[in-house]
Amino acid sequence: MSTFTVAAATMQTLSMTAAEEASRRGEHTGDIDDMFLALVVNEQVAGQVLRSLGITIDGAREAVAAQHADQLASLGIQADAPGPGRITFPDSGEFSWSERALTLLQRANKGKKRGDASAVLRELVRERSGLIEAIVRRLGATPEQIAGLLDELERYPAPPRHAIDARSLSGVGESYVSAPLVEVWSLLADPARMPEWDRGPVCVEDAPTEAAIGASWTMRIADTEEDGTPMRARPERRRSRVEVVDLVPQRAIEWATTWPDASDANTRRVRIELEPTAGGTHLRVALAWERNPGRRPKPLRRWLMRPLHRFAIWMQISQLGAGIGRLFR
């Protein structure tokens, strides 16, 4: 990836996760502590470093809350803040960063810095207010430890990414889920629970009790949004058929989705591979759109639209990974 692409991807994923954390407190603005929490569950090297030090999302949340309580107490303020609720973003509305969070993100992109999660974490632990350093020390770590581990891990090149099929419009992404592999697999292998993490469909019809190669079921989306406005999806796209095309228990599962009412629709293939990692499960999410054989290829148009298509694929992959991770936080 180019430096710009890495920075944009990092901004998107950190913003989404930080927004989810802020929404637990009923807030729509994220600060540097929300950024730190987002890094704890990030799939990049920064998240791996934090988790290798025994920092979990639950522990980090407790440390953030304790640090804020101590800061208020030092000012003579005793306040019993209501406990955080469930994640409500993105349904709860818009999200924005605080001024100091935006300033920090800008510093992580200056000069020769890549703007990736490691660059953000380096800036956080030396942020001049000392808030994140204090939180890190509450968690039994130090900024020096974090910097040393980042230096060590970043010496190794990232493994190459391969899509489902190089001939299709496809992409691959990584995600981290703060739950044991067996629990994540239980979610993915249950057809009835697919609407919980794949946003759009709202109900499953004729679903088998568990996934198996060749098993299939129907999924439908709602006619209206939650606020009553009509759903943007075309009528012929409101019913889809999902089939399991590959499955290795607790290792990998792949689905192919078609739209029976849209004769010219392409096929969507999603493959998720799982492996245990420190504090949870690592996901490799691959997504591909296979051209309907009845559609005439348009190579020039496809070439012109390639950057937009790549961004759309990356967004879809990010949303799938985020949807799965959200359920366990």
Q: What is the pLDDT of residues 78-116, one digit of tens each?
A: 766 656 788 888 777 789 999 999 999 999 999 888 899
Mean pLDDT, rounded, for 293-303: 61
Residue 253 has pLDDT above 60, yes or no: yes
Report d(CA 220, CA 199) in Å as an integer.
Answer: 11
- Ramachandran bin of 250, using left for φ above 0, alpha for ψ from -120 to 50, beta for the remaining angles: left
Domains in the chain with CATH codes = 3-153 (1.10.1780.10), 169-326 (3.30.530.20)
Q: Dihedral (C-alpha) 121, 123, 129, 132: value to the nearest 10 degrees?
A: 10
Cβ neighbours of residue 165 closer than 8 Å, sequence gap 6 or more: 269, 288, 290
With a pLDDT cut of 90, the percent of the chain lying above it is: 60
Q: Are 216 and 237 in contact (CB under 8 A)?
A: no
Report d(CA 317, CA 264) in Å as an integer.
Answer: 23
What pLDDT is attached to residue 158?
Answer: 58
Q: Which is it for strands 29-30 and 96-97: parallel, antiparallel or unpaired?
A: parallel
Report d(CA 303, CA 167) in Å as an integer.
Answer: 13
Cβ neighbours of residue 75 closer than 8 Å, sequence gap 6 or more: none
- The pTM of this model reads 0.81
Q: Are 217 and 191 in contact (CB under 8 A)?
A: yes
Q: What is the phi/psi pair of residue 210, to 5°?
A: -150, 160
Instruction: Please report the DSSP string for 206-249 in residue order.
Output: S--SS--TT-EEEEEE-SB-TTSPBPSS-GGGSEEEEEEEEEET
